[in-house]
Amino acid sequence: MAADCEFSSFSSQSEESSPNKVQSEESSSSEVRNWLELPSDVTCLILKKLGTVEILTSAQRICKLWWKLCKDPAIWRTIDLSDLGYSWDTNYDPEVVARNAIDRSCGELVDINIEYFGSDGLMEYITARTSNLKRLRLVSCCISDEGLSDAAEKLPLLEDLEISLCSFTRESLEVVGRCCPRLRTLKYNKRGYRRPRVECDEEALAIAGCMPELRYLQFFGNKLTNDGLQAILDGCPHLEYLDLRQCFNITLPEDLGRKCAERLKTLRRPDDPTDDYEFHAQNLGGSASDEHYDYDDDDDDIGFSSDEYYNYDYDYDYNSSDGGDLGPWFSD
């Protein structure tokens, strides 16, 4: 009898706890999110947070839905290729990645960032596929004066241009100014040198003569003089922000300093701190010449575009001259 009571008690407890257990399991199951049920626009926002390489090599292969969304031109309106050309452990050509991303923009590209690679051919590829570009960032690229000039002629809507650690002539900057009348922001950055004191106002005069609508000018490490600065102030009447850090030929005599204070909302002086500057900003001087330190693509012995540093597998490489296959990483 005792055994029957004990069994009855156990059975009763099991019956009472069973519904709770089922509810708990159902509750736990309902808390598991199905990411595929997210609205497409939300998923696209998430995908935009990934880098170009991550999308092309990983995200688009998660499922059919993501494969489809990763082909949406809206995702490729902004293309950030920062550090792609600076990576030594990749098995793909940065220009292959860039061209594939540009193709997916379907003419809607408005903003592109290219760092530590890039050529005249890539600039031509960009301008052949969009005339809507508003922002262009070039860092340590192998682009010639002719390449920049030809690109500028096809980018009438350009508003924001950065050229850092590259060298261009006055003539190419003048072409940019004439062909890009909407240009409001220019960052033209080099390295600063205290010695030897080489003076050159050519780039400053190009800006003063051809970019009257500038609001923001970062001129880091330039060799302009007080005369060049005066020309910029006269030729760019709408200028609000001027960064002259490490422009060591600038002395800002009282009258010129007063004019800067009256005209500009923000002035970064030659000796101001460089903590917030993105690139290495060590002051160079001594007996070494500027030409020794100035970055010159023609003297590049690192070989960013050299095949030996990329360990290509030519069975899968992209031959841009004949429109060959992009290989397993980027194939559609």
Record the pTM: 0.74
With a pLDDT cut of 90, the percent of the chain lying above it is 53
In degrees and rounded to multiples of 5, residue 85 shows phi and psi of -80, -10
For residue 269, what pLDDT is reported? Answer: 97
Which of the four pLDDT bands, split at 50, 70 and 90, describes residue 60?
A: confident
How far is residue 201 from each of residues 10, 190, 220, measured CA to CA in Å?
A: 94, 14, 14
For the chain, the average pLDDT equals 80
How far is residue 332 from each of residues 66, 70, 86, 110, 171, measured CA to CA in Å?
A: 13, 11, 26, 23, 41
- Per-domain residue ranges for the chain? 77-295
* Per-residue pLDDT tens over the stretch 91-150: 778 999 999 999 999 999 999 999 999 999 999 999 999 999 999 999 999 999 999 999
Tell me the CATH number for domain 77-295: 3.80.10.10
* Per-residue pLDDT tens over the stretch 291-329: 433 434 443 333 333 333 333 332 333 333 333 344 444
* Per-residue pLDDT tens over the stretch 151-192: 999 999 999 999 999 989 999 999 999 999 999 999 999 987
Q: Nearest 5 degrees, angle CA 286-CA 294-CA 85?
A: 135
Give the span between the Cα atoms of 122 and 91, in whole angstroms: 19
On the question of pLDDT at 9 being above 60, the answer is no
Give the span between the Cα atoms of 109 and 325, in whole angstroms: 23
With a pLDDT cut of 70, the percent of the chain lying above it is 70
List residues bridging with 112 in a β-sheet: 79, 136
Give the span between the Cα atoms of 239 and 227, in whole angstroms: 17
